[in-house]
Amino acid sequence: MFIFRDNNSYSELKDSQTITVIFTFLLQILLTFIVSNLIYNRARGEIKKINSGFHHSPVSMLMLDENKKVVDVNTRFSDFLGYRIEELLGSQVCELKIFKEICHLTEFKQMMASNNPYHNMEYSVVKSDGSIIRTLISISVINYVDQKHAIITFTDISNLHQMNEKLTDYAYYDDLTTLPNRRYLTKIIDTKITDNKRFTLMCIDLDNFKDINDNYGHTVGDEVLYQLAKRLLKTVHEEDFVTRYAGDEFVVILNLDDKSHTLEHKIDRIIDAIESQIYLDNKVFNLNASIGLSEYPLHGMTLNDLLRQADTEMYRIKRMVKANNLNN
């Protein structure tokens, strides 16, 4: 059986279907708008959070886009290094004055070319006033506005570096005379032996220094040692090395490959420096010393061997001098 609808019924059905389609379409638009708005608001929130954390961080930060161009710097960066964003914006990393000292370094180039994070790389960077400062540099990678960005952080370690240099001074230099100490002597000798460099080791033992301490006090004695140390430093040549070994003992390393001066000439200059009068607080001090020599590699292959040989020679000369004095 066939049922025929009149034209009015057909039109109503058609209108109803059209309304349903339109409603569904509008509903889809509305839902899309709501979801997009939620995503947009969430993205804005994330961006706002990132911006707030970036700009108010107590750490100096510089932000690069995926092409390694500067897109932002934070307040701490400007305070610490002196650059404003207007000076840096849009510049490639190696166009920046800040990286002038390190852009040629292979490891820095590799670090900047990589998309991996790097932490606590120690570099010297240039401040806006041209001064050099030691920093720890770290790089982090973040997604920012649907793009990869790199954030470079800078930590000032200049004070730590200076402290490390001071500790090195304490470890390798004598407080009183400022000469290198026994530890530094060991280091120098090890280097020369490794490089197979010929040299003469001279041990100097002041003969009458105890009398100065006993008669004038240790303060005066310390000043006499300081003055002698300065004199020895001026006397030896650039390629030679002088150290305070202990108490009133000094060790001098004389380079035997120096063709400009003979060993005898160098030794005579050192003896003259020791025996020349020292004037201090209207007093005159006359020093004399016993000297022993040993030669690497002729007399030994280690510092202890060379010191032992020089001491043996020094005390042999002392006994000879004492015997001569008794005979006279």
Structural domain including 104 reads 54-158
Report the pLDDT value the prediction gives residue 50, as an integer from 0 to 100.
53
Percentage of the chain lying above the pLDDT 90 cut:
51
Q: Is residue 7 part of a domain?
A: no
* Cα(80)–Cα(2) distance, integer angstroms: 90
Q: Which residues of the chain have pLDDT under 50?
A: 1-4, 39-40, 43-47
The pLDDT of residue 112 is: 87
252-287 pLDDT, tens digit each? 999 998 777 889 999 999 999 999 999 998 899 999
Q: Let me know if 328 is exposed, middle or buried by CB neighbors in 10 A (0-12, 13-18, 19+).
A: exposed
Same domain as 197, residue 139: no
CB 72 within 8 A of CB 63: yes
Where residue 208 sits, what CATH number does that domain have?
A: 3.30.70.270
Model pLDDT, residue 124: 93
Q: What is the pLDDT of residue 13?
A: 54
Virtual torsion, Cα 303, 318, 242, 288, nearest 10 deg: 170
pTM of full prediction above 0.85: no
Q: Same domain for 78 and 180? A: no
How far apart are alpha carbons 61 and 76 in whole angstroms?
7
- The answer to whether position 214 is within a domain reads yes
Domain CATH number, residue 99: 3.30.450.20
Residue 8 covered by a domain: no
Residue 67 shares a structural domain with residue 112: yes
Residues 147 and 220 in one domain: no
Give the number of domains in the chain.
Answer: 2
pLDDT score recorded for residue 144: 64
Residue where a domain stops, chosen among 158, 193, 210: 158
Q: Would residue 291 count as lying in a domain?
A: yes
In a shared domain, residues 191 and 72: no
* Last residue in a domain, options 126, 158, 190: 158
The reply to whether 219 falls in a domain is yes
Where does 56-157 have alpha helices with state H? 75-81, 85-88, 106-113
Same domain, 263 and 184: yes
Q: What is the pLDDT of residue 4?
A: 47
User: Is residue 68 domain-resident?
Assistant: yes
**Domain boundary residue, one of 125, 158, 191:** 158
Do 199 and 316 share a domain, yes or no?
yes
Instruction: Establish if 10 belongs to a structural domain.
Output: no
Same domain flag for 83 and 193: no
Domain shared by 126 and 204, yes or no: no
Do 203 and 260 fall into the same domain?
yes
- State whether 150 and 177 are in the same domain: no
> b/e map of 271-291 (b: 16 or more CB within 10 Å)?
bebbeeebeeeeeebebebbb
Query: For residue 32, is it within any domain?
Result: no
- What integer pLDDT is reported at residue 7 of this predicted model? 54
pLDDT of residue 238: 87
Nearest to 255 by CA among 238, 236, 240, 233: 240
Supply the pLDDT for residue 201: 96
Give the Å distances, CA to CA, from 36 to 29, 47, 182: 10, 16, 74
Task: Render pLDDT for 8-46 as a digit per residue (tens, 0 to 9).
Answer: 555 655 556 666 656 665 666 666 655 555 544 554 444
Q: Are residues 178 and 63 in the same domain?
A: no
